[in-house]
Chains A and B, each alone.
Chain A
Amino acid sequence: AQTVTQSQPEMSVQEAETVTLSCTYDTSESDYYLFWYKQPPSRQMILVIRQEAYKQQNATENRFSVNFQKAAKSFSLKISDSQLGDAAMYFCASFTGGGNKLTFGTGTQLKVEL
């Protein structure tokens, strides 16, 4: 069974600063994918970034990047130059073909302060 753990229920960051959200996962499969989703107050789930487990290079999307440590089963999200619009709930998720489903963590609520 897959598990995804987000140990930080809440995080705060000053505008323009950098913040890192933690995520660890557990899977017995060798082929899997990892995701970070953002859920703003509108409730809409938005994909932030995607990482294939077979790729060693860390994924990046503009101000968002990940630190993928396969051996440690860690998948943290770094947000650079934080903006007010980054305030949201962030969910880490893993996908394996065997289970054919996304498994979500419990989320980290990010607050961005002026």
Chain B
Amino acid sequence: NAGVTQTPKFRVLKTGQSMTLLCAQDMNHEYMYWYRQDPGMGLRLIHYSVGEGTTAKGEVPDGYNVSRLKKQNFLLGLESAAPSQTSVYFCASSYSTAYEQYFGPGTRLTVT
């Protein structure tokens, strides 16, 4: 099992450009999450999904959109990137809400 994978691992964008981060899991988990990690602030939840076709806002959703068209995939989109979105992005999945979340390796995004 690959677990949770993220594509790409690194990306540099110019302000105003758009991009999509892809998260895939092969553990048949219902729940998937997107976090961002900034220095000194731990991880903060951007959006999450409790099942195929569902999404919900987390703690810091502004400037991001998500989609969960297939159970195994969870996409995070930036429509118009801003320097404040420079961060490391983590995807995670879990069998159930209170169970262990399995994390992907992260994507380092720089917006100039």
Contact = CB atoms under 8 A, between A and B. Distances in A.
B98 A44 contact: no
A44 B42 contact: no
B13 interface: no
A55 interface: no
A31 B45 CA distance: 20
Interface string A34-70: 0100000011111100101000000000000000000
Interface residues of B, number: 22
B103 interface: yes
Contact of B48 (A43, A101, A105): A101
Contact of A101 (B45, B103, B106): B45
A46 B106 CA distance: 12
B59 A101 contact: yes
Interface in B29-76: 33, 40-45, 48, 50, 56, 58-59
B103 A104 contact: no
A107 B39 CA distance: 10
B56 to A, nearest CB: 8
B40 A100 contact: no
Contact of A91 (B43, B48, B100, B105): B43
B42 A91 contact: yes
Contact of A100 (B42, B88, B97, B100): B97
B84 to A, nearest CB: 19
A81 B48 CA distance: 38
A44 B90 CA distance: 9
Interface of B: 33, 40-45, 48, 50, 56, 58-59, 88, 90, 92, 97-98, 100-101, 103, 105-106
Given A44-B105, A104-B43, 10 more contacts: A4-B42, A35-B100, A44-B106, A45-B90, A46-B103, A91-B42, A100-B50, A101-B45, A101-B48, A104-B42
Interface of A: 4, 33, 35, 42-47, 50, 52, 91, 95, 97, 100-102, 104-107
